[in-house]
Amino acid sequence: MMFSLLVWFALWEIVGRLGLVFLIPPFTEVMLAMIDVVTSSRFAEAATITLQAFAIGMALALTVGIGTGFLMGRVRAIGQLMGMWVNIFESSPMTAIVPALMALLGFGLPTMVFTVFIFSVWVIALDTQVGVERVSTSLVEMGRSFGASRRDLHLKIIFFAALPEILAGVRLGLIRGAKGVVIGQLLIAVVGVGYLFELYSRSFSMPEFWALLIIVFAFAFMASEAIAHLERRVAFYATSR
């Protein structure tokens, strides 16, 4: 099915050659520009800081998100108390908060890390909560009946029973985190790939712009597919829990 992309690339080439939209250069030019972009030192710098922010932000979001989700799923009162906030922020445009982060934390790595965090943590916590709540009581009772410690109960039983939902949340969190790092950088404008996008679009270097876009898209897509792969690996038991 992915072969249809080849058709799209062919269309892209035609549209570009015909000069139909001045913003869209031929696909082949974009591919050539990609080599220039990737080998430039600006890109290396931008990629480094972007990946740093993304990695740290996601690590924080995963720890806090999964941990909180567990808590919310196991203790009903906490689930109700915090659930309200998590739900509110999960469906609100976190983009609006970024200017406040910039005012508070400046224009550097901390703001970007925090942006990634606030974009992704809510959906991770929410899906983890759902997964933990749905764990069959029978399995938990089974663990208790054989004398499982709390640690064993949580790590050996509840975690695996909730894993399909947790992974679904992680994948959505990764996607949102990637959106966050890009949006954050677009708003900050002087760092990372956001800066590069600004640069290329201001100087009308369209092939470079699209090349960078494809690179960023490809990265986000691959990260999401990596988790989707894990999801497929646990699918065999997801339906028979």
Judged by CB under 8 A, the chain residues 64 through 93 that form the site for another protein are 76-77, 80-82, 84-85, 87-89, 91-93
Q: Of the two residues 44 and 100, which places its CB atom closer to another protein in the complex?
A: 100
CA distance 171 to 181: 15
Helix (H, G, I), strand (E, B) or coil at 32: helix
Total Cβ atoms within 10 A of residue 31: 15
Query: What's the angle, vertex CA 91, arms to CA 111 and CA 127, rounded to 5?
Result: 95
Name the maximum alpha-carbon separation found in the chain: 72
Among 141, 150, 155, 229, binds another protein (CB under 8 A): 141
Half-sphere exposure of 217 (CA within 13 A, CB side): 6
Residue 232: CB minimum distance to another protein, A = 14
The answer to whether residue 48 forms part of the interface with another protein (CB under 8 A) is no
Residue 14: CB minimum distance to another protein, A = 16
Q: Which stretch in 58-66, 108-116, 124-132, 231-239 sits in contact with another protein by CB under 8 A?
A: 231-239
Residue 183: CB minimum distance to another protein, A = 5
Residue spans of beta strands (DSSP E) within the chain = none
Residue 12, C-beta contacts closer than 8 angstroms, at least 6 positions apart: 24, 26, 27, 30
Which residues in the 22-41 window bind another protein by CB under 8 A? 22-23
Q: Of the two residues 62 and 193, which places its CB atom closer to another protein in the complex?
A: 193
Binding mask 117-136 for another protein (x = CB under 8 A): -------------------x
**Structure tokens that stand for 233 in this block:** 């690996």
Which residues in the 154-213 window bind another protein by CB under 8 A? 156-157, 160-161, 163, 175, 178-179, 181-183, 186-187, 193-194, 197-198, 201, 209, 213
**Structure tokens that stand for 195 in this block:** 């800066």
